[in-house]
Homo-oligomer: A and B are copies of this chain.
Amino acid sequence: MPRNALSREQIVQAAIALLDSEGADGLSMRRLGSRLGTTGAAVYWHVEGKEEILLLATDAVWRDMPLPDPEGIGWRTAATTMANDLYAMLLRHPWLVRTMPLRSPWGPARTHHDDHLLSVYEAAGFTGSEAEQATRTVLTFVLGTALDSAPDAALTRRAVCKDGEPLAPTGQDVHRNLAFGLGAILDGLQSRLPTRS
């Protein structure tokens, strides 16, 4: 008899909760199963495997990204807002920086976000592959910044400073650098705009 205890949507939500609270390594099929009141093997009836769960969880999170309209606020404000929102999302779900490297396949939400971001740079005046490259440059920088500040690091940090010098950047440093670097990048991009109005 079908008990319908599990559904794809429940599995994905439970996976996200587990990843957020336990980190990238905290997600295991058995733990996910027990969190849903069943066994790890039960999950396999609804889902292909762990990889698909990560795929679904990743795209579910992308769905929450706001997509500001460049009309009215200007392309630069829109670009800055989207970069900050993306960074905030990556901080909220640190496991994303490990699941991001996949060039493909992206889910529909990720694709939708990227399309919108591209339209922002097209609104700025970039065309064709230049718009794509501008988009990718900013996206890449934000992703790299999040990677830098990920508490979810593959290696745990031990003794931080042996000589009293704060060699390693703090979360503060990284965050301040987002504003600085983004400003510099947008300046550089702006100076390459083909025609000014």
Q: Which residues of A are interface residues toward B (Cβ below 8 A)?
A: 51, 54-55, 97-106, 111, 132-134, 136-137, 139-145, 147-150, 152-161, 167-170, 173-174, 176-177, 180-181, 183-189, 191-192
Known: A99-B154, A148-B101. A133 touches B185 (CB 8 A): no
**Once bound together, how far apart are the Cα atoms of A140 and B140, in whole Å?**
8
**Once bound together, how far apart are the Cα atoms of A42 and B67, in whole Å?**
54
Known: A147-B144, A188-B186. A181 touches B133 (CB 8 A): yes
Partner of A183, one of B99, B152, B188: B188
CB distance from A20 to the nearest CB of B (A): 17
**Once bound together, how far apart are the Cα atoms of A184 and B158, in whole Å?**
36
What B residues does A188 contact at CB under 8 A? Answer: 183-189, 191
Total copies of this chain within the assembly: 2
Q: Determine the main DSSP class of A at the interface with B.
A: helix
Q: Can you list 24 pairs linking A and B with CB atoms under 8 Å apart?
A: A54-B155, A99-B154, A101-B148, A101-B155, A104-B160, A105-B157, A105-B158, A105-B159, A106-B168, A111-B167, A132-B173, A133-B181, A134-B184, A136-B173, A136-B181, A137-B180, A140-B141, A140-B144, A143-B144, A144-B147, A185-B188, A187-B187, A187-B191, A188-B191
CB distance from A47 to the nearest CB of B (A): 14
**Once bound together, how far apart are the Cα atoms of A98 and B173, in whole Å?**
21
**Once bound together, how far apart are the Cα atoms of A111 and B169, in whole Å?**
12
What B residues does A167 contact at CB under 8 A? Answer: 104, 106, 111
Partner of A180, one of B133, B156, B184: B133
**Cβ of B101 and Cβ of A137 under 8 Å apart?**
no
**Cβ of A168 and Cβ of B103 under 8 Å apart?**
yes
**Cβ of A102 and Cβ of B153 under 8 Å apart?**
yes
CB distance from A35 to the nearest CB of B (A): 21
